[in-house]
Amino acid sequence: MQPADFLSRKPPIVQDSTVYVNHEIPKDDPLVQRLFKGIVDGKRASLAESITLAESTHPRKRAQAQVLLEEILEHQRETSRHQLHKFSSFRIGLSGPPGAGKSTFIEAFGKFLTDQGKKVAVLAVDPSSSTTGGSLLGDKTRMPELSRDMNAYIRPSPSAGTLGGVTRCTNDAIVLCEGAGYDVVLVETVGVGQSEFAVADMVDMFVLLIPPAGGDELQGIKKGIVEVADTVVVNKADGDLIPAARRIQAEYISALKFVRSRTQHWKPKVTRISSVTKEGIPELWEMISEFQKTMLQTGQMELKRERQHKVWMWNHIKDAILELFKENPVVKSNIPKLEYLVSKSTITPGYAADVLLQEFKNAFNASDKAK
């Protein structure tokens, strides 16, 4: 079978002007148009409903979500023509070990930004939320003041079960929040597995939040996370912890000298703040604004987003192909047996994977010949 034959079956998308829209859902779909108008008008209820739509695994709802996202992107392109630069928002990723005070920091930092007239969206990335019963970091009860602020929107992590599913939903949520006029989008991670690196591929600036502790308490911070951080923030620098916070700040300043910068235009900085007394938060925002200005002026932000959007595309493809693979009847029937043999070390994981992949190829080829 030639590639052209495969593509000619029923393309999932068709080209419409300069953008791609879903073949099965028209642009004037009533739900899409209602949500689009609500988002553009800045209605939080419409934003929440739109993100829920994007998180859905139902084929039609997913298709409607994609058309809505295309409408939002097209609207942003039109709006950006009248702005100084093409980006209407700034995306900030936040990670840190347990005990770093992430929720308290987001509450204090978010309130500082809304007091400055900014609109702030907080999105959580927690792949474990489906097994723990919900996202801890996205829990609005941990941010009581910010959750009541009309210029803030807090969204718990989707319970998609896999990191790929969670990141896909979060990528879409970022676009929807920007379409609703949020100036700053904060993406927080629970700090488990690869979620920090996934967040680093979603944002313009990655912030590592650490507590004023040393030794065993900081062993959970992987070296790779420090290497992708654009700034390190020592939190809880108040009361009896001020000396410890100063010490940790000095240690990280020294350590970062040996870490290669991700861009020649910015050297990662280490700052000290208190989410309780709010000391250091205005200075932190100044530094973040300096980073944003530098990345815009040098064109690095545009290049970074272009690269990230390609990563998003391939992540979506990987996630979709994995689901397609697991739902194949032949593969599905063999998974329990092969998982058992692997768990008992009867066969190697690599061999089991090869068997399943070959079964998938055979099933695909057989169905293709039958057509």
- pLDDT (tens, 9 = 90+) of the chain, 371 residues, equals 443 343 344 434 434 433 444 457 888 899 999 999 999 999 999 999 999 999 888 889 989 999 999 999 999 888 877 666 667 799 999 988 878 889 899 999 999 999 999 999 999 876 655 544 444 444 566 788 898 999 999 988 765 556 666 777 888 999 999 999 999 999 988 755 567 788 888 999 999 999 987 555 455 566 677 888 899 999 999 999 999 999 999 988 888 888 777 788 899 999 999 999 999 999 999 999 999 999 999 999 999 999 999 998 898 888 889 989 999 999 999 999 999 999 999 999 999 999 999 999 998 887 767 66
**What's the CA dihedral at 54, 58, 63, 64 to 10 degrees?**
-60
CATH number of 1-82: 1.20.5.170
Amino acid symbol at 3? P
Distance CA 152, CA 122 (A): 8
Alpha-carbon span 273 to 281, nearest angstrom: 6
Cα–Cα distance, 191 to 197 (Å, whole number): 9
Kindly give the interhelix angle for 163-179 and 30-40, rounded to the nearest 10 degrees. Answer: 60
Helix (H) or strand (E) holding 124: strand 120-125
List Cβ neighbours of 175 (8 Å cut-off, separation of 6 or more).
69, 72, 73
Other residues' Cβ atoms within 10 Å of the Cβ of residue 79: 14
The full set of domain ranges for the chain reads 1-82, 84-298, 328-370
Q: Are the CB atoms for 210 and 191 separated by under 8 Å?
A: no
Give the dihedral of Cα atoms 74, 38, 173, 45; nearest 10 deg: 180
Residue 187 identity (one-letter amino acid): V
CATH 3.40.50.300 given to domain 84-298: yes
Give me the phi and psi of 124, to 5 degrees please. -105, 145
pTM of the full structure: 0.83
